[in-house]
Amino acid sequence: MSTDQHPEAKGRAGGRVVVVTGGARGIGRAIVDRFTTEGASVIIGDLTDPGEVATGLDMTGQREWITLDVTDELSVQEFAKSVATGHGGVDVLVNNAGIMDTRTLANETVADWDHTMAVNLRGPFLMAKHLVPLMDGRSDSAIVNIGSIEGIGANALHASYAASKAGVHGLTRALAVDLGPVGIRCNAVAPGWIDTDLNRNYVDKHPNQAQAVTDLASLHPVGRIGDPADVAAAVLWLASPDAGFVTGQVITVDGGRMTRLSIPASLADD
């Protein structure tokens, strides 16, 4: 429940019930960690057991794992029933589960395309559809979707991913309009290059990894690539009463990367 309902709760999310999809690793794991640190009870919805990803992870007390396939409506319905039974309701839903593949248009099959859309876009829709009823009557309920700067621009060979994340941004605005009258805010965070296992594996394939990291950092006015904790901090704020007048927004967390205009190296100042 919210801190208004539990005034004795400690932390910025004290006493709140938070659902995080895809919370076993990466950005999702950082979001789970931040909310639990701030006093929330967090339910991780994931196909992967978080304890298998992080050996020795304490899954007692403030966090628990319920198996979830966000692409399957029956799985989402069963997840919602388990949450309702265990917690009575939900204060915050974080739709983080997502996938990304790199393919040419010619190599992208209909099955590939549909799978990306199912995880990245159908998932947030189904989670909102079946968990919004659990937010009924709870003060300052919020949905935070994890979009991407590729919902604003695009990298090469990412047609399905960029399209799905643009859809997440559109869904965010639509939910903000539809759910605002019942007291539920909906926003999205669009991360840039974040130091996750997925992105680290991409860098590891480069023959000069140190140079690759340096070059990536140079794209960002803040002079570094992002950390999952950077995204988690933005999600926490959007889910908190401090953002009570913020809804329908896509907050870019990219170290300024999308703000800096590109220029050919031959014309760049030293």
DSSP 3-state of 267: helix
Q: What pLDDT is stored for residue 193 in this prediction?
A: 95
Q: What are phi and psi of 144, to 5 degrees?
A: -125, 120
Q: How far apart are CA 24 and CA 68, in angstroms?
A: 11
Active site residue 202: no
Q: What pLDDT is stored for residue 1 in this prediction?
A: 36
Structural domains in the chain, sorted by start: 17-196+227-256 (3.40.50.720)
What value does the mean pLDDT take over residues 144-165? 97
- Reported as a pLDDT band with limits 50, 70 and 90, residue 61 is low
**Options 35, 125, 161, 193, the catalytic residue:** 161
DSSP 3-state of 143: strand
The per-residue b/e assignment along 29-50, b for 16 or more CB within 10 angstroms, e otherwise, is bbbbbbbbebbbbbbbbbeeeb
What value does the mean pLDDT take over residues 49-53? 89
Q: What average pLDDT does the structure give for the chain?
A: 93
What value does the mean pLDDT take over residues 46-52? 93
Express each pLDDT in 223-249 by its tens digit.
999 999 999 999 999 999 999 999 999
